[in-house]
Amino acid sequence: MALSKPMDARGGGYGAIGELLHRYLTGLILAMVVEVGTERSAKIVKSLFRRQQEERFLPGLQKLGLAEEPDAVACAKYHYLSNHLGGVSVVYVAESDSKAWVKYVPPRWIFDGAAIAGIPTEISRAMLWGWHANNGVLLGNPCLGFVCTGQTVDAMPGLEGYYIQEQEPLPPEKRLRFRFGENCPPIVVENLPTLDSDDWPAERRAKAARNYSMDYIRNLVPVISEELGPIVAQGLLRRTGRKIGMQYSSVVREKLGTDNPGEILAGLLEAQGDVVTLDGNEVTQETWRLMRGLEAESTPEWMDGISGLWEGVLEVLDPEIRLELPERLDSGDDRFLWRLSRLGRPSSY
């Protein structure tokens, strides 16, 4: 049977997949630091944020109505509004048309919970080199740079800094500078802009928050694979996915409002925006929205690795559940058949 209800009406599907992929992102960063070291992990994180920026930044300026703002102000407002949609605590203040501050207020979304204590400073700096240092390049403004004045991972009260329009073009190594000791001016939260509720109703906001988490994973997976190789990446993705799936299984099942294994799997896939059919112990996934647009880069290892998430969620419910790796249907299409079984009983679960 096809799932007939929209996910937000079926117990919070958008919230379930958004939460799960959010924690997966944090878990993958920590796993990389442990398994491949800080230097390679920082390289991957920089590539992730550069990839995200090149895909989202300029279209986002248009979508958020910021294209006509002065560059420094537009950048700060972009970080405030786009992160706000993703559920991230960010504020901003413009000192002038040429200098605008942005501050990511604790708790840090990407380094969730106690994970903040295990993130090296190089990882946080890599994020800034990947995105903030490159805004001027994409805007065609070689005089625009970013000055970081504090990082939460260094035990400072938030990741903060300012976009600054300099008088002369900045060489690449000066597009990001660190000046600890300068402080963000006071910010009156009540004066910060808000998104129009007519343009951004509740369902659109819920989808935007889901998309925020999905975008990180869809861009991180190919970057990990490119840096570590597909086989190493597969193992990292799968092991980390199983751990995160198990750790957040109860949260996911509560949001979906079901403990039925088939409904859980189908619900998570449908919440991604895929067309899904549930028939007994088989789930047909007609699309793969998480990796849409990356068909030329797609490898079997990606699906194998990411499926560890679903395994972790389900095996907490029943340790004898087995999730078979998906069978691709109709070669050339992103159509997959998943089968659930119980140990020793392949025809049912």
What sign for the dihedral angle of Cα 116, 119, 122, 123? negative
261 in a domain, yes or no?
yes
Please tell me the total count of domains within the chain.
Answer: 2
For the cut 70, the answer to whether the pLDDT of residue 345 exceeds it is no
pLDDT band at 330 (very low <50, low <70, confident <90, very high): low
- What pLDDT, on a 0 to 100 scale, did the predictor assign at position 298? 65
Q: 287-301: per-residue pLDDT in tens? A: 888 887 776 666 777
Read off the pLDDT of each residue in 242-246 and give the average, rounded to a whole number.
Answer: 97
Q: Is the pLDDT of residue 3 over 60?
A: no
Q: Which helix (H) or strand (E) holds 160?
A: strand 159-165
Q: Residue 62 belongs to what domain range? A: 37-191
- Domain C-terminal end among 170, 191, 212: 191
pLDDT of the residue at 84: 84
* Whether residue 152 is found in the same domain as residue 71: yes
Q: What is the pLDDT of residues 145-160, one digit of tens each?
A: 999 999 999 999 999 9
Q: What is the CATH number of the domain that holds 147?
A: 3.90.1520
> Which position has the higher pLDDT, 298 or 122?
122
Per-residue model confidence (pLDDT) at position 1: 40
Instruction: Please write the tens of the pLDDT for every residue from 96-109.
Output: 999 999 999 999 99
> Both 75 and 152 in a single domain?
yes
Query: Of 171, 191, 211, which residue is a domain's last?
Result: 191
Whether the predicted pLDDT of 9 surpasses 80 = no
57 and 99 fall within a common domain? yes
Mean pLDDT of 58-66: 93
Based on the fold, state whether residues 123 and 245 are members of the same structural domain: no
Instruction: For CA atoms 154, 159, 164, 169, give the dihedral sign.
Output: positive
Both 182 and 241 in one domain: the answer is no
Per DSSP, the three-state class of 320 is coil
CATH number at residue 228: 3.30.1380.20
Q: Is the pLDDT of residue 19 over 60?
A: yes
The answer to whether residue 210 sits within a structural domain is no
Domain assignment present for 348 = no
Helices within 248-338 (DSSP H only): 249-256, 261-271, 300-317
Confidence of residue 344 (pLDDT cuts 50, 70, 90): low
Work out the pLDDT band at 88, boundaries 50, 70, 90. confident
Domain boundary at 191, 212, 233, which?
191
Would residue 19 count as lying in a domain?
no
Tell whether 187 and 225 lie within a shared domain.
no
